[in-house]
Amino acid sequence: VLDLVIRGGHIITAEGEFDADLGVVGERIAALAAPGTLSEARRTIDAAGLLLLPGLVDPHVHMGHRIFLEGAWVPAADDFATGSATAAAGGTTTVIDFAIQRDLGPVETVAARRGEADGRVVLDYALHPALTRATPENLAAIPALLEAGCPSLKLYMIYRKQGRMADDAVLFNALAVTRGRGLVGVHAENSAIAEYNTELAIQEGRTTPIDFARSKPNYVEAEAINRALFLAEETGGTLYIFHLSARESLTLVAMARARGVKVIAETCAHYLTLSDEVYEREDGHRFICSPPLRSRADVEALWEGVDSGLLSVVSSDHCGFDSAAKDRGRADFTKVPNGLPSVGARLPLIYTHGVLAGRITLPRMVDLLSTAPAKIFGLYPQKGALLPGSDADLVLVDPGARRTVSASSWDSPVDWTPFQGMELGGWPVATIARGVVRAEEGRCRRDGEASGRFLPRSLGGVVRAPGPQARHTAGGGERGLGAVRAKKEESS
Ligand code: URP
Ligand code: ZN
Ligand code: ZN
């Protein structure tokens, strides 16, 4: 007997869309069957008129983040417990966070970060170790990180003064050591130029939010990406570019791919839905994140990159600093902790600005938000798939519901949202993680235990960067949506 049947939903996977019943036994998907054919179950959810997607995988979040600013640590308002609850409320069932090296060795840093998450996190999670020291001991620890289930590193090419920067020697060696069995992700910004521009801005009294964006123009990102691509080519390693934001960077990725460099690029929901005009607003300082929000031309170029397949993933880069933390830099951008709270908003943002706007199809959305990150980071088909045997990680979406965003749209301790006032569709009705309803209507259910588990991963020689791809021309999404709307009308 099945434990759960989700009946009559319109299933969207990265490959296509169809109507089916979905059956769950324990924590796993047991069956997909023609509508109306799965009846015997302990519990039934009626999904008529709803979209049923694989639970979203967010491969770039910072839960319980802290930044060293003006001689002290500034903590985010959320932690693994509350941050993952917000993620669940937004349709996400797996998050990948970071283990950023501070005083410990890389392996010990992973263990310490697991100590912060285990017993508190409500979703399954994995970690990208971030190495911050250019020492032989650090590089020698990489094989042990692979053994510990963390085959994807993140290296900061900036934040020297915060002690987070890994220099080019670490990048070169990490790409070489992980070749064929892991990947190296980069936060790509040219440190020297950004630091120089910042010092000059301070000296000249230019410290407003738009001055922040001007201190890190597109070329600051593009130069660092160019350098990282060269090192990836030289070593044969796989490069993952976190939060690509500038149109020049896309051109570099396209050229590198054409000559066979193994590179995978991600952008984030905010770079696709906000532009640098917000820095002129009275609350512009709150939008400070790195890389900065870009021009409307960049936003359009990023959507083009999504369409062409140059961009494979849309993550959140969630960072939960509350308004008090952000407002300390109201008059001086150097005092603002960087990052935007966005983990709950990723699905409605991309559904509305992507699918409803006719830019991408529903299957392409599922690929960007779930399947591609699961495949790239070694979680597929346990995650990112609706296959018999996959974890029963599911999200039900009402394609017709529209709501205006506010900080209270999700269960979150963060008291503001960069998307305030946006009218969005694509809100999750329910999020199911390993067979358990974890969130409903934007609220995370805390009645269950904090049951998230650490996901050890392996990329065991099968890290594949996408090759040249067919364009993901929009149009099917509208068709798909039309079909669901028609179905809803029929059933009502
Ligand atoms: O501005 C960004 N991307 N913040 C995320 C967290 C960090 O410190 O990089
Ligand atoms: Zn970053
Ligand atoms: Zn980040």
Could you read off the pLDDT of 44-100 as tens digits, one per residue?
999 999 999 999 999 999 999 999 998 899 999 999 999 999 999 999 999 999 999
- The pLDDT score that the predictor gives to residue 134 is 84
Give pTM, 2 decimals: 0.94
CA atoms within 13 A on the CB side of 253: 33
pLDDT value, residue 353 = 98
Q: pLDDT at position 488, please?
A: 36
Ligand 2 centroid distance, CA of 87 (Å): 19
pLDDT of res. 473 = 45
pLDDT of residue 480: 31
- Confidence (pLDDT) at 442: 87
292 alpha carbon – ligand 2 mean position (Å): 11
Closest by Cα among 76, 96, 75, 104 to 153? 96
CB 307 within 8 A of CB 325: no
Averaged pLDDT for residues 117-139: 95
Percent residues over pLDDT 70 in the chain: 93
Band (pLDDT 50/70/90 cuts) for residue 448 is low
Per-residue confidence (pLDDT) for residue 468, from 0 to 100: 42
pLDDT value, residue 469: 44
Distance of CA 183 to the CA centre of its chain: 17
pLDDT cut 90: percent of the chain above it: 89
Question: Average pLDDT of 291-297?
Answer: 98
pLDDT band of residue 274 (cuts 50, 70, 90) is very high
User: Cα 175 to the chain's mean position, in Å?
Assistant: 22
Q: What's the gap in Å between 94 CA and the centre of ligand 1?
A: 20
Confidence of residue 449 (pLDDT cuts 50, 70, 90): low
Average pLDDT value for residue range 235-244 = 98
Does 489 score more than 50 pLDDT? no
Q: Dump strand ranges (E) for 101-219.
A: 124-130, 152-156, 183-187
Q: Give, using CA atoms, the residue closest to atom 2 of ligand 1.
A: 339
pLDDT at 477: 34
- Residue 460: band (very low, low, confident or very high) from pLDDT cuts 50, 70, 90: confident
The pLDDT of residue 411 is: 86
**Residue 289 CA: which ligand 1 atom is closest?**
1
Mutate to test the pocket of ligand 1, among 65, 243, 268 (most ligand atoms within 8 A of CB): 65
pLDDT of 474 over the 60 cut? no
Residue 491 has pLDDT above 90, yes or no: no
CB 289 within 8 A of CB 319: yes
Q: Kindly give the distance from the C-alpha atom of residue 332 to the centroid of ligand 2, in angstroms, as a whole number.
A: 21
Return the best residue to mutate from 61, 62, 95 for the ligand 1 pocket (most ligand atoms within 8 A of CB).
62
Q: Is 421 exposed, middle or buried (0-12, 13-18, 19+ CB in 10 A)?
A: exposed
Average pLDDT of the residues in 196-216: 98
What average pLDDT does range 293-301 have in this prediction? 98
User: 149: buried, middle or exposed (CB in 10 Å: 19+, 13-18, 0-12)?
Assistant: middle
Q: What was the pLDDT predicted at 113?
A: 98
Pocket flag, ligand 1, residue 339 (CB < 6 Å): yes
Return the structure tokens found at 14: 């990265």
| Residue 39 pLDDT | 81
